[in-house]
């Protein structure tokens, strides 16, 4: 039998077979009664066959392929399944015992097979693949490759168009079928460049059997607990062949490129995971990206070719756009840059090269400009100013090579901004001479001057004058930099590189854009951001202090409701309830600084701030509350509230609500019942703590209209305590149910319980640490929403906008009851600096109308989220009011099964898209939305739009 050779074939149109004919065939040959549905294929006819017992796939091959080829494919699939534990289709024997059945379709002889159908969805079904899913795909490709390396069965030689050793020829032959303007040339160029880049390594690449089409399309996945698809199986061994082993990964990587919002670094987890299973050699690493380009080009031209010869093939025609996107993504960046990126996935970092040459500028003293996230020059939102404004100093200054610039950040953007300069930027107050660092030829472009030297080019852009052109010697005058700025970049590439790139791509680009600093400032220190910070944190900081996110960004600045990491990426902060005024508020910073310069002692001294602050706080609460204790945190405030209750009543027992958090000290931990905050909460509770049902009207024991019964039960519980001889010293409760997900308590809840507690001689404590201070919009305090006045109110968090500050507000009489404990003193509680911080927070809150903003923007945000709930079944409820909102995610709106893992994954995806969000509640299935109170309607829209995108595209 002659071997199949693509290059000898004219056309490989898929065989034409009706579903009815497919059903007949399956009945005749395999004795299976089933219903046939057409499945797409480039060159074969495939049907899904559903019978009463099982589901199969009938594959009627293109007549060009032989029975031996198909037999080999079945054996290889079985081998992969057996040795790698990967699901793969199994061939079913016909009546005659053969798996490969000769058939005649439209007068042509060919063969058919029936294989088992793998349950699940193609991995390509969603629009987004999260990094762990990409890694799982790389792992699957690695295991498949490892298994196929030991496949010892038959493998008839074939000359396939999908063999990447043939890809360049395929592109040359089929490029003419690309009708997109310029597309044919683009395909030829890209393939030519990739083939050149590959030439050095091609002869040294190991060969082995490969699946050859291990794309997301051909990987079967099942949804994991977090709702992300996990690859479990591989289908379609139709391109099985002997080829370069690394080609397997190249195909997989190319299929990952067009996913939504992806920059090319999205493929790195796949490469890392593949390498962990099946190590990648240096030659293979250099070959990988050229092979991705060749695959993308060959796939694109083949698709167009197939569509031209088989216009009725909906599968081939329908894929054209997708294949074009793969091609565009594969060719968007230079091969050398992508190879540097790919290398960074598995090899230690390489310092960028450094440019050498004669000085471009000489005889000047240069100042270094700092436009990075931590630069003091960018305080008070100055990063939003023009860079030239910021650089307006006398003399000559420069922004260093590879410094991620906060000045280039973009607020509320889903894409990481291009912040990193691949050269230096000069800012000059006086004209400066620029000289050629090496001999070369100067070419003047519209917006740039290029000095092409031997294997490197100097690029200059900016306010240049009198630039010369033509041949120059090193040291000769190139032109003048006028007062203004100029960018100086050195490139090893033929094409002109961008000056700014996103941080994720900077190190790869830097390999091709050497550091030009020695050309302008030979003695300047080098230096790179410290990448070892997470490890140092893990080494020195107690590990029980956890961190947000699996890949935590290093956030070093905040401004209003935005946070910035060291790459200059901005995040909308929808989480930080403490910073009610927003981050970096200049009024607060100035006030604290002034007070620090003046005095910071303690409240045993006599000074005005403590008096003024205490009076202001006392004025915020209704009578009879009039007396203030100042401490440093919510924990201390709640701890002190308990001690006041104990001291005043001479009792120990406390009634608290389940699923709440009140602090980490011994006493507050005892009354904290939230397993999300303390997994041991239920086992470690001392006998003096008595708990009430979580009054959750959404998913608790009583729901909806029934929720009034929580209060009835609570009153009953108070009576039981009294009857049992353990009347409560205190009833402690958040007046708006913050830790459970930001939901209101049932109407009348506290109004029913407070009198019962007081009748029993106990005190009612409202923990306003999270929900008070204007966040609810309509109300300054949570207890107002319940229409009650507590005996003791605890406050913290927002009070200091992040400065450690807490307070207990109570009556004169209850405060006096503390005498039996001795006196009360807290070294920093009520210090001059703390009091000034607290006063300033209150002033800004008032002057900027933040409570009202919480009401207005909160209502808008809530309405947007409720509209999303109509569209996305995973949103079970939208709780809360003002800017304390909880979006509860459920797997089923009837059972209310919490979508815990999904919520965590959604928060990770929101982070990638520029939003800081975390889960809360005992089930960790509520998005806790409690941003700084100054967020705008546009911020709320960015959040709602992004959440909509994530819930639509997948996470
Ligand atoms: N009470 C409530 C309701 C809280 O949410 C918290 C903190 N999450 C605390 C008390 C403890 O406050 P801190 O962390 O300031 O000690």
Give the whole-angstrom CA distance, residue 273 versus residue 252: 12
For the stretch 636-667, pLDDT in tens is 999 999 999 999 999 999 999 999 999 999 99
Minimal-distance CA residue to ligand 1 atom 6 = 662
The reported pLDDT for the residue numbered 11 is 63
Ligand 1 atom closest to Cα of residue 663: 11
Least Cα distance to 426 among 484, 498, 384, 378 occurs for 484
Average pLDDT of the segment spanning 719-733: 98
- Here the tokens at position 705 are 């209209």
Average pLDDT in the chain: 94
State in Å: Cα 668 to ligand 1 middle.
Answer: 9
For the stretch 430-468, pLDDT in tens is 999 999 999 999 999 999 999 999 999 999 999 999 889
Ligand 1 atom closest to Cα of residue 634: 12
Minimal-distance CA residue to ligand 1 atom 13 = 634
Best of 580, 681, 769 to mutate for ligand 1, by most ligand atoms within 8 A of CB? 769
The reported pLDDT for the residue numbered 24 is 95
The reported pLDDT for the residue numbered 16 is 87
Ligand 1 atom closest to Cα of residue 660: 3
State in Å: Cα 796 to ligand 1 middle.
Answer: 7
Average pLDDT of the segment spanning 669-698: 90
Average pLDDT of the segment spanning 937-946: 98
| pLDDT > 60? residue 528 | no
| pLDDT > 90? residue 861 | yes
| pLDDT > 50? residue 393 | yes
Least Cα distance to 38 among 28, 46, 29, 30 occurs for 46
State in Å: Cα 610 to ligand 1 middle.
Answer: 23
Handedness of CA 492, 498, 500, 502 (dihedral sign): negative
The rounded percent of the chain whose pLDDT value lies above 90 is 86
Three-state SS at 445? coil
Ligand 1 atom closest to Cα of residue 636: 16
689 pLDDT band (50/70/90 cuts)? very high
How many residues in the chain? 955
Minimal-distance CA residue to ligand 1 atom 5 = 770
The rounded percent of the chain whose pLDDT value lies above 70 is 98
Distances (CA, A) of 570 to 371, 409, 680: 15, 6, 36
Give the whole-angstrom CA distance, residue 679 versus residue 449: 64
The reported pLDDT for the residue numbered 1 is 44
Least confident of 536-540, 680-684, 894-898, 943-947: 680-684
Give the whole-angstrom CA distance, residue 165 versus residue 151: 21
Best of 732, 733, 797 to mutate for ligand 1, by most ligand atoms within 8 A of CB? 797
Best of 634, 658, 740, 781 to mutate for ligand 1, by most ligand atoms within 8 A of CB? 634
For residue 28, give every residue at least 6 positions away whose Cβ sits within 8 Å of its Cβ, in sequence order, or none: none
State in Å: Cα 662 to ligand 1 middle.
Answer: 5
The reported pLDDT for the residue numbered 415 is 94
State in Å: Cα 110 to ligand 1 middle.
Answer: 73
For the stretch 345-368, pLDDT in tens is 999 999 999 999 999 998 898 999
| pLDDT > 60? residue 4 | yes
State in Å: Cα 832 to ligand 1 middle.
Answer: 23
- The overall pTM is greater than 0.85: yes
In eight-state DSSP terms, residue 117 is: P
In eight-state DSSP terms, residue 404 is: B
Minimal-distance CA residue to ligand 1 atom 2 = 662
Helix (H) or strand (E) holding 847: helix 832-847
State in Å: Cα 855 to ligand 1 middle.
Answer: 23
For the stretch 879-918, pLDDT in tens is 999 999 999 999 999 999 999 999 999 999 999 999 999 9
For the stretch 587-604, pLDDT in tens is 999 999 999 999 999 999
The larger pLDDT score, comparing residue 172 to residue 319, is at: 172
| pLDDT > 60? residue 471 | yes
Least Cα distance to 696 among 867, 888, 873 occurs for 888
| 3-state SS, one letter per residue, for 166-178 | CHHHHHHHHHHHC
Name the phi and psi angles at 824, rounded to 5: -110, 130
State in Å: Cα 579 to ligand 1 middle.
Answer: 14
In eight-state DSSP terms, residue 898 is: B
Three-state SS at 271? helix
The reported pLDDT for the residue numbered 337 is 97
Give the whole-angstrom CA distance, residue 716 versus residue 251: 67
In eight-state DSSP terms, residue 246 is: H
Pocket of ligand 1 (CB under 6 A): 633-635, 638, 661-663, 734, 738-739, 767, 769-770, 796-797
State in Å: Cα 822 to ligand 1 middle.
Answer: 26
534 pLDDT band (50/70/90 cuts)? confident
| pLDDT > 70? residue 566 | yes
Distances (CA, A) of 550 to 300, 562, 896, 911, 925: 36, 20, 27, 10, 17
Give the whole-angstrom CA distance, residue 586 versus residue 565: 20
Distances (CA, A) of 801 to 26, 143, 795, 910: 72, 52, 12, 24
For residue 114, give every residue at least 6 positions away whose Cβ sits within 8 Å of its Cβ, in sequence order, or none: 26, 29, 30, 32, 49, 56, 57, 58, 59, 91, 92, 94
| pLDDT > 90? residue 481 | yes
| pLDDT > 70? residue 478 | yes
State in Å: Cα 635 to ligand 1 middle.
Answer: 6
Average pLDDT of the segment spanning 492-507: 96
Ligand 1 atom closest to Cα of residue 734: 3
Residue 922 in contact with residue 905, Cβ under 8 Å?
Answer: no
State in Å: Cα 795 to ligand 1 middle.
Answer: 9
Minimal-distance CA residue to ligand 1 atom 14 = 634
- Here the tokens at position 733 are 């409760």
3-state helix, strand, coil in the chain (%, to 5): 40, 20, 40
- Here the tokens at position 427 are 């800012």
| pLDDT > 60? residue 924 | yes
């Amino acid at each position: 039998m002659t071997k199949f050779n693509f290059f000898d074939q004219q056309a490989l149109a898929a065989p034409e077979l009706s579903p009815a004919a497919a059903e007949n065939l399956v009945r005749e040959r395999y004795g299976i009664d089933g219903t046939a549905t057409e499945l797409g294929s480039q060159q074969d006819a495939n049907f899904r066959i559903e019978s009463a017992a099982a589901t199969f796939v009938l594959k009627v091959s293109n007549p060009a392929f032989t029975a031996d080829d198909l037999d080999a494919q079945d054996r290889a699939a079985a081998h992969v399944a057996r040795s790698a534990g990967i699901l793969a289709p199994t061939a079913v024997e016909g009546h005659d015992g053969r798996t490969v059945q000769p058939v005649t379709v439209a007068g042509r002889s060919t063969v058919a097979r029936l294989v088992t159908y793998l349950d699940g969805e193609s991995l390509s079904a969603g629009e987004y693949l999260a990094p762990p899913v990409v890694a799982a795909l790389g792992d699957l490709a690695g295991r498949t490759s490892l298994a196929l390396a030991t496949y010892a069965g038959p493998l008839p030689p074939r000359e396939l168009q999908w063999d990447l050793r043939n890809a360049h020829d395929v592109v040359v032959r089929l490029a003419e079928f690309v009708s997109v303007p310029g597309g044919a040339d683009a395909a030829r160029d890209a393939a030519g460049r990739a083939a050149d880049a590959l030439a050095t390594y091609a002869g040294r690449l190991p060969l082995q059997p490969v699946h050859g089409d291990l794309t997301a399309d051909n990987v079967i996945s099942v949804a994991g607990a977090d709702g992300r698809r996990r690859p479990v199986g591989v289908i379609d061994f139709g391109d099985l062949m002997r080829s370069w082993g690394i080609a397997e990964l190249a195909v997989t990587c190319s299929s990952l490129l067009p996913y939504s919002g992806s920059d090319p670094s999205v493929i790195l987890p796949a490469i890392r995971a593949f390498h962990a299973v099946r190590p990648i050699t240096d030659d293979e690493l250099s070959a990988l990206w050229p092979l991705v380009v060749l695959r993308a080009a060959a796939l694109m031209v083949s698709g167009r070719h197939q569509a031209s010869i088989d216009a009725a093939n909906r599968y081939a025609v329908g894929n054209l756009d997708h294949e074009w996107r793969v091609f565009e993504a594969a060719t968007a960046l230079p091969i050398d840059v992508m190879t540097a990126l790919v290398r960074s996935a598995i090899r230690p970092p390489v310092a960028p090269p450094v440019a050498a040459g004669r000085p471009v500028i000489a005889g000047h003293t240069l100042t270094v400009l700092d436009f990075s996230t931590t630069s003091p020059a960018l305080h008070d939102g100055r990063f939003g100013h023009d860079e030239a404004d910021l650089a307006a100093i006398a003399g000559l200054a420069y922004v260093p090579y590879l410094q991620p610039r906060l000045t280039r950040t973009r607020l509320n953007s889903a894409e990481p901004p291009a912040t990193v300069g691949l050269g230096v930027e000069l800012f000059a107050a006086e004209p400066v001479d620029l000289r050629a660092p090496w001999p070369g030829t100067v070419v003047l472009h519209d917006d740039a001057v290029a000095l092409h030297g031997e294997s490197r080019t100097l690029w200059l852009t900016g306010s240049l004058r009198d630039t010369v052109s033509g041949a120059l010697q090193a040291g000769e005058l190139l032109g003048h930099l006028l007062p203004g700025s100029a960018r100086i970049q050195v490139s090893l590439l033929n094409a002109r590189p961008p000056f700014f790139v996103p941080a994720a791509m900077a190190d790869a680009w830097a390999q091709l854009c050497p550091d030009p600093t020695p050309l302008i400032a030979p003695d300047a220190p080098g230096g790179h951001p410290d990448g070892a910070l997470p490890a140092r944190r893990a080494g020195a900081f107690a590990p029980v202090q956890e961190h947000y996110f699996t890949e935590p960004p290093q956030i070093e600045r905040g401004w209003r409701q935005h946070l910035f990491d060291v790459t200059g990426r901005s995040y909308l902060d929808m989480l930080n309830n403490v910073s009610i005024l927003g981050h970096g508020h200049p009024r607060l910073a100035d006030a604290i600084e002034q007070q620090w310069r003046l005095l910071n002692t303690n409240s045993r001294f006599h000074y005005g701030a403590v008096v003024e602050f205490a009076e202001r706080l006392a004025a915020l609460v209704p009578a009879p509350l009039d007396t203030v204790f100042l401490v440093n945190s919510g924990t201390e405030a709640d701890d002190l509230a308990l001690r006041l209750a104990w001291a005043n009543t001479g009792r120990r027992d406390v009634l608290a609500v389940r699923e709440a958090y009140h602090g980490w000290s011994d006493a507050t931990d005892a009354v904290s019942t939230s397993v999300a905050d303390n997994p041991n909460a239920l086992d470690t509770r001392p006998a003096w703590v008595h708990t009430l049902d979580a009054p959750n009207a959404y998913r608790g024991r009583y729901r909806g209209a029934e929720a009034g019964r929580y209060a009835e039960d609570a009153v009953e519980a108070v009576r039981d305590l009294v009857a049992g001889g353990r009347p409560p010293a205190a009833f402690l409760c958040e007046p708006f149910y913050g830790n459970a997900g930001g939901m209101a308590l049932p109407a009348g809840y506290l109004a029913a319980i407070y009198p019962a507690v007081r009748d029993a001689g106990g005190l009612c404590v409202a923990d306003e640490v999270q929900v008070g201070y204007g966040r609810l919009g309509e109300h300054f305090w949570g207890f107002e929403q319940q229409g009650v006045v507590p005996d003791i109110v605890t406050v913290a968090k927002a009070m200091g906008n992040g400065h450690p500050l807490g307070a207990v507000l109570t009556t004169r009489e209850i405060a006096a009851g503390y005498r039996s404990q001795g006196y009360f003193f807290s070294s920093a509680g009520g210090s001059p600096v703390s009091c000034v911080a607290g006063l300033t927070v209150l002033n800004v809150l008032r002057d900027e109308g933040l409570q009202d903003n919480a009401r207005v923007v909160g209502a808008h945000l809530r309405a947007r989220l409720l509209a999303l709930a109509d569209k996305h079944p995973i949103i079970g409820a939208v709780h809360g009011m003002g800017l304390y909102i909880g979006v509860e995610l459920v797997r089923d709106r009837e059972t209310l099964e919490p979508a815990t893992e999904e919520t965590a994954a959604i928060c990770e995806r929101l982070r990638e898209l520029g939003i800081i969000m975390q889960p809360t509640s005992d089930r960790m299935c509520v998005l806790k939305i409690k941003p700084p109170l100054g967020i705008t309607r546009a911020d709320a829209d960015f959040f709602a739009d992004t959440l909509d995108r994530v819930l639509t595209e997948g996470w």
